[in-house]
Structure 1
Amino acid sequence: MPLFDFKRRKAAVALVKAARARGMGVEDYVKTLSPAELAKYVPGADQPKTEMPDVALWGLPPGEDVTAEPFLADARLAEAVAAYRAGDWRPGARLLEEIGADWDRRAHAVQQLGDAAADDDLPLKEWRTAGSAAAEAVHAQGLVALAWQIRTRLTPEHVSEEQWAGFFRVLEDAEAATHAAIEAAPDDPTPWCTMLTVARGRQYDNDGFRAVWADLVARDPLHRPAHDQALQYWCAKWFGSHEQMFAFADEAAAKAPKLAGLALVAAHEAEAKDVEAWKSDRTERALDVALPWLAGEGRDHPANRRDRAYAAKALVVNGRGDEAVEQFKVLGTHADALVWAYGGKGAVFEFVKTRYLACHGATRP
């Protein structure tokens, strides 16, 4: 059996070349690399090889308490979703009525209630008999969630023909339901946000997607959930490219601090396609804007915890361990953000590993 397989041999050669390019020996060059940088040359080098530090020294909970189960920081929304799953739609209806035109929070609540409706639509049927525009928005979002349940989150080549057929069939119903929700509340951008997901699933071409986007931003040009959906469309894995994705993220970041986190999501998407993006001026600029927003105006925003997770990852990769630890303190035991789900060993492992590296790189407990 060879000492190195092909990939390891290729990585070792690349390490030697990189060291020579800097006029250094391999051992000296390795000392200049962060764990994440070293992992590009030595697979698995970013994984801890020694015992985990006592994370309690940094005020962090033990690794065995970390979970990837979905978590809702908004207690009232969590209660409304729990009530819906127990058969009572009225708390959700009251919550949406009180949220009113806080569009980011409204879209987030509709998404969570839609996820519940995808599992059980009986309470929703009763809710819709009341003639509620909010119920129509939840109905549309629920059908989108159901379509994705059928498709699953597997990569396209692992989705069966039957799953594809069910996915497109339900999405067609979702498109009709979204139009009905738009008619019920013409000024509400929430159904248009749902339509962005429908457009991605139904494979709208770029011009078709831009038409939906134009209707959305006419109602709320800074709609954060809609920007999240649009960024996914412009990813290379869907119907865009790295260039289009980064251009969209840059344009968004220039609009408002609450949109700066999109550049971090874009960096993660690029890295997933083996394009180096975490260590970049764009990421540093995004962190400079996103971190103050997370600590201030955005403290209670629905995107707060998601952005903190991406920020924690970016901070670790860029050697800013102390700041990363502060983000993990807020995240606590919750590894439910999508950034942790891309690793091959599961979200909890990825979260705990990155948290370890944050503590390892921190200058003080």
Structure 2
Amino acid sequence: MAFLRALIRTARMVRNTPLLAAGLTPDDEVLLDAPDDRLGPALVAAGRGDYDPAAKLLAMTREGNEWENRDRYTTRLAAFARSRSEWFDDWQCAAPHDPDALLVKAELAVVRGWESPAHAELLRESAPLLTAAAEADPRDPVPWRIALDHARGTHAPQSVFDEVWAEAVHRSSHHYGCHASALQYLSASWYGSHRQCFEFAEGAARDALPGSLIQALPARAAFAYLTSSSGSVPRERLDAAADLGIAVSGAYEAGDPWPAEVRNLLTYVLVRLERWSDALEQLRLIGPHATSFPWDRMADDPLGQFLELRDGIRIEVASGTPLRTGGGRPRPDDH
């Protein structure tokens, strides 16, 4: 009987897995952290040593109060400057007091600080750069998102976290990046607990604007729990977080790069919950937009990890899909 069940499982995989590729982007077309149409040219120019497009792009986000885009672009530009700094060095020399250059400089310093085994000490030394970035444009919430990451890395107490969080929400009460950074500080892996993490995420989701990615914050809390090594969260709470994430994801078009990171994270959560069909649907919505997070938490090759997981999800769904006759109708024994 065990052999028969294994045979049926294999037959289902062989029959159904190719069919489940429908709607999935081919492997060779999936890109990791692909830039959007605005960031892409700025990165290409920076690769040639020209900082001007990057400077203009960040100035545009600042002048237009595009805080979410500003945060994402700052992160990507700092990551590029970490490996190829000539263009950024030229920018700082040409405009040392530019609010946008100061912002990238602060982000870059915090990222570099985190990379060091002595990160707490290095991060404390970078505090004046955060102050300079915050003072350069008092309206901007992004320096305060960086400050939340800084607070976590310097082992800042809850009282300091509360002060930084208050400054962040004063500038933008619905900024996703600040909420994600605050959630990480409050997670059980850092200075909070699973209870604090979920309560923060669920409260923020209730207060979020319609269509806001903050509504998917409970899925991020579920990720924090599922990647921790302690504590217990009821399955119903994890499923509710995943359901909310699915609803938020469904509000965006398939292949939209904006919710890509949320969809990648949600896919991980759904896999851990063994909700294979839901995970497969997220893969279809992700399209070509794989993101480093969360896969870089599991492998040095995040794109390879993502593609391998796609195959695994397809096989799991196929193994649970009833065999079909030539006419496509279920066989009597499928019931």
Give the TM interval when normalised to the shorter protein.
Answer: 0.7 to 0.9
Determine helix, strand or coil for the equivalent of 2:155: coil
CA distance in 1, matches of 2:214, 2:253: 11
From the superposition, tell whether residues 321 and 287 of structure 1 become closer, same or farther in structure 2 (CA, over 3 Å). same
Report the counterpart of residue 153 of structure 2 in structure 1.
201
- Deviation of 1:305 after TM superposition, in Å, equals 0.8
From the superposition, tell whether residues 297 and 326 of structure 1 become closer, same or farther in structure 2 (CA, over 3 Å). closer
Q: Contact 1:321–1:362 at 8 Å: present in 2 too?
A: no
Q: Contact 2:215–2:245 at 8 Å: present in 1 too?
A: yes
Q: Deviations over 1:51-108 (max 9, x none)?
A: 6922664332455x487x7413523213322322332111111212222311111111
- The letter of the residue matching 1:202 is T
CA distance in 1, matches of 2:36, 2:131: 29
Report the counterpart of residue 112 of structure 2 in structure 1.
146
Report the counterpart of residue 259 of structure 2 in structure 1.
304
From the superposition, tell whether residues 268 and 102 of structure 1 become closer, same or farther in structure 2 (CA, over 3 Å). same
Report the counterpart of residue 252 of structure 1 in structure 2.
204
Q: Deviations over 1:220-261 (max 9, x none)?
A: 111101111111111122111112111211121112142122
Q: 1:321-340 counterparts in 2 under 5 A? A: 321-332=276-287, 334-340=289-295
Report the counterpart of residue 290 of structure 1 in structure 2.
245
Report the counterpart of residue 20 of structure 1 in structure 2.
none
Q: Which sits farther off after the overlay, 284-293 or 256-265?
A: 284-293
* Counterpart selection for 2:103 from 137, 159, 168: 137
- Deviation of 1:327 after TM superposition, in Å, equals 1.5
Determine helix, strand or coil for the equivalent of 2:126: helix
Q: Contact 2:219–2:244 at 8 Å: present in 1 too?
A: no
Identity %: 28
Q: Does 1:101 align with 2:57?
A: no
From the superposition, tell whether residues 314 and 253 of structure 1 become closer, same or farther in structure 2 (CA, over 3 Å). same
Q: Which sits farther off after the overlay, 99-108 or 80-89?
A: 80-89
Q: Which sits farther off after the overlay, 217-226 or 294-303?
A: 294-303
Q: Does 1:354 align with 2:313?
A: yes
Determine helix, strand or coil for the equivalent of 1:324: helix
Report the counterpart of residue 76 of structure 1 in structure 2.
38
Q: Does 1:263 align with 2:226?
A: no
Q: Does 1:226 align with 2:190?
A: no
Report the counterpart of residue 43 of structure 1 in structure 2.
none
CA distance in 2, matches of 1:313, 1:334: 15
Q: Deviations over 1:236-293 (max 9, x none)?
A: 221111121112111211121421222112112212225565x733344334443343
TM-score, structure 1 length as denominator? 0.71
Q: Does 1:186 align with 2:148?
A: no
Determine helix, strand or coil for the equivalent of 1:75: coil
CA distance in 1, matches of 2:120, 2:287: 38
CA distance in 2, matches of 1:76, 1:362: 42
Which of structures 1 and 2 has the larger relative contact order (alpha carbons within 8 angstroms, sep 6+)? Answer: 2
Report the counterpart of residue 192 of structure 2 in structure 1.
240
* Counterpart selection for 2:22 from 45, 48, 58: 58
- The letter of the residue matching 2:71 is A
Report the counterpart of residue 86 of structure 1 in structure 2.
48
Q: Does 1:118 align with 2:70?
A: no
CA distance in 2, matches of 1:298, 1:215: 33
Q: Deviations over 1:139-197 (max 9, x none)?
A: 1001112223x33xxxxxxxxxxx32xx3443234221110011111111111111111
TM-score, structure 2 length as denominator? 0.77
Q: Aligned pairs, how many? A: 302
From the superposition, tell whether residues 60 and 298 of structure 1 become closer, same or farther in structure 2 (CA, over 3 Å). closer
Q: Contact 1:88–1:123 at 8 Å: present in 2 too?
A: yes
- The letter of the residue matching 1:120 is R
Which structure 1 segments of 5+ residues have no match?
1-26, 32-48, 152-162
From the superposition, tell whether residues 359 and 189 of structure 1 become closer, same or farther in structure 2 (CA, over 3 Å). farther
- Deviation of 1:325 after TM superposition, in Å, equals 2.3
Report the counterpart of residue 331 of structure 2 in structure 1.
none
